[in-house]
Structure 1
Amino acid sequence: MLGQLLATLVGLAAGAALRPVVVALAVPAGEPVSIPCMACSPCPGATWRPYALRLLPPGGRCSTCRVRLCAPWLPELTTAAAFAAVAAGGTEGWYAAAQYWLALIGSALLLVDSAVQRLPDALTLPAAVGTFTLLTVASAHHEPGSLGRALAAAAAAGVLFTVLALGGMGLGDAKLVISLSALLGWHSWHVALLGLMMSFLLAAVVAVFLLLARRSTRKSTMAFGPFLIIGTLAALLAHS
C-alpha cells in the first residue's frame, strides 16, 4: 500500500515535468513542434529546442499571458494513474523499471494522440530504446521472463501493425506497439495476446458507444494509441 502511494506521488511529479513536453508535441501532423506557449512565442519553427521547455502551472495556463495550454492537472493525474497501476502489479527489479518507463512515456503519448491523433517519433523512439535497454538489463540479471520472447513479440506485433497501416491505421501505432508488445512478451505469449485483444475490445466498445451517442459516424477516425497503452496496463495487472 505504501509503495503504491509513493508511486502515485512520483507519478504526480513526473506528470508535472511531462506537461510542457505534451503541450509542445500536441500539434497536428505536418506542423512544426511548438514551444509551450504559441501566444508568447509565435515562431515555433525557429525557437524550438529542448531547453525551451519550462515547467507550466498545474492549472494549464501560461504563467505569462494566461492562455489555456492544457486541461488542469491532466498530465499529472494521467501519469499518477499509470504509475499506480504499475505499482499495483507488484513487479520488482529492472522489469518494473521498464514498466514505469513505458508508463511515463505512454502517458505523454496517450495525451498527445487523444488531442491530435498522432504518435510523434520524439516519444515512440525513446519508448522503444528505453524499453529494450531495461529488458536487456533485466535479462542480464536473470529476472523471470524471456528477452527472446519479448523481441519476438515486438517483431510480430510490428509486422502486424505495419500491415494494418496499409489499410489506414497510423504508422505511429506500429512504432508504439513494438515497445508495448516487448513488455508484454517478456512475461508470456498469453499476456502479449491478451494485451492486444483488450486494446481492440476497448476500442470497439468506445467506438460503438460514440456511434450510439451520435458523437461520431462510420467515417470518423479515432486515436488507437490510448487503447494500446490502456490495454497493455490492463493485461499486466490481470496477470500480476
Structure 2
Amino acid sequence: MTTGTLVLIAAVWGALTGALLPRAAYRFAVPSGEPWRAHCPDGRHPVRGWLGGVRCGHCAHDAGDGDADGSGRSGEAGGGQGFVPVASYQPYAPSALLLAAVGALVCAALAAATGTRPELAVWLLLAPVGVLLAAVDLRVQRLPDPLTLPLAAAALALLGLAALLPEHAGHWRTALQGALALAAGYYALYRLNPGGMGFGDVKLAVGTGAVLGWYGWPTVLLGTFAGFLLGALYGGVLVLARRADRKTAVPFGPFLLAGALAGLLIGAYAA
C-alpha cells in the first residue's frame, strides 16, 4: 500500500469518526459534579445514545407542525398555546463538520508520519477520543473520567499488542514508564497549584505519556514541552487581547493533547 493511499484511508477514518462525536461532546460537556446531559437544551426530549449528531428531531418535528413561515411557531406544540424557540431544534454545538475536519487532519498526519507500522492502528483508534476530550475541555474545562481512564488503559493494552507484531518501531516498557512518569509530574504540578492544573489533566497524562513513551524519552520530553509551550502561547494571546488576565483559568487538556500529537509525529518520523 502506498503512503498516499494509507493517508487517504486514515483521513476518511478520521472524518467518519469525528462526525460521530458531537452527541458525546454535548452530553459530556457539563460542569464538574453534574450528571451527563440526557435531554435536549429545552429539556423537552431525551438524547439517547452517545454517537451521532445533536439535532433534536423531536423538537424539529414539533416546530414543523403548523410552521408555514419558518418562524418556529407551532399551534400544535405545547397544547397549542406556545412555540418552540428556534434554538431548540437547530443543531446544538459542537459542529460535526469541524470535528470531522479535525479528525481527518489528525489521522492523516499520523498515517503520514507512522507509515505501515503496526502502531498506526493504535494511533487511529485513540485519535477520536483525543478529539472528543479536546472538544469537551474547551467547552467546560473538564476531562471526564469515562474518557481519560479508558484512553490510558487502551493505550497501554493496544501498544502491548503492537509490541508483539513485527516491524513495530517502539517499546512497550518505555510506554509504561512514560505513562507513570508524566502522570507523576502532572500530579506534582496539581498538588503545587491546584488552581492551575486539574486532576483530569493528571489522568489524561497517563494516556499521553504512554503514546509518547512508545518512541522513547526524547519524545516524552518533546511532547510535554510542546504542550506547555502551546498553552503558554494561547494564554499570552488572550492576555494581550485583554480577554483574560493571569488568573484566568485556561483549559489545558487541548494543549496537552496537541503537544502529545506534535511529539508523536516527530517521534514517528524519527523512528
TM-score, normalised to structure 1, is 0.89
Residue number in structure 2 paired with 1:64: 58
Q: 1:182 to 1:54 in 2, by over 3 A?
A: closer
Residue number in structure 2 paired with 1:20: 23
Number of equivalent positions:
231
Residue number in structure 1 paired with 2:66: none
1:153-208 Cα offsets, whole Å, 9 max, x none, are 11111111111112121011111111111111110100110000010011111111
2:21 counterpart SS class: helix
Residue number in structure 2 paired with 1:200: 228
Residue number in structure 1 paired with 2:250: 222
Contact kept? 2:239, 2:246, Cα under 8 Å: yes
Runs of 4+ in 1 over 6 A off after TM superposition: none
Query: Which of the pair has more CA radius of gyration?
Result: 2
Contact kept? 1:36, 1:54, Cα under 8 Å: no
Q: Does 1:179 align with 2:207?
A: yes
Residue number in structure 2 paired with 1:117: 141
Q: Does 1:53 align with 2:50?
A: yes
Q: Distance in 1 between matches of 2:165 and 2:50?
A: 36
Residue number in structure 2 paired with 1:136: 160
Q: Distance in 2 between matches of 1:53 and 1:96?
A: 25
Q: Which amino acid aligns with 2:154?
A: G
Contact kept? 1:112, 1:118, Cα under 8 Å: yes
Q: Distance in 1 between matches of 2:210 and 2:221?
A: 11
Q: Distance in 2 between matches of 1:40 and 1:22?
A: 17
Out of 31, 35, 56, which is 2:34 matched to? 31
> More displaced, 65-74 or 168-177?
65-74
1:187 counterpart SS class: coil
Q: Distance in 1 between matches of 2:57 and 2:94?
A: 14
| 1:72-151 equivalence runs, <5 A | 72=95, 73-142=97-166, 143-151=168-176
TM-score, normalised to structure 2, is 0.79
Q: Distance in 1 between matches of 2:51 and 2:161?
A: 32
Contact kept? 2:27, 2:36, Cα under 8 Å: yes
Contact kept? 2:6, 2:115, Cα under 8 Å: no
Q: 1:111 to 1:204 in 2, by over 3 A?
A: same
| Gaps in structure 1 of 5+ consecutive residues | none
Residue number in structure 2 paired with 1:160: 185
For residue 110 of structure 1, report the CA deviation from its aligned partner: 0.4
Q: Distance in 1 between matches of 2:209 and 2:115?
A: 17
Contact kept? 1:85, 1:233, Cα under 8 Å: no
Q: Distance in 1 between matches of 2:44 and 2:52?
A: 16
Q: Provide the identity percentage.
A: 36
1:160 counterpart SS class: helix
1:124-177 Cα offsets, whole Å, 9 max, x none, are 122112111111101222522211111111111111111111212101111111
| Gaps in structure 2 of 5+ consecutive residues | 60-88
For residue 235 of structure 1, report the CA deviation from its aligned partner: 1.4
> More displaced, 28-37 or 173-182?
28-37
Q: Distance in 2 between matches of 1:113 and 1:36?
A: 20
Q: 1:163 to 1:221 in 2, by over 3 A?
A: same
For residue 36 of structure 1, report the CA deviation from its aligned partner: 5.8
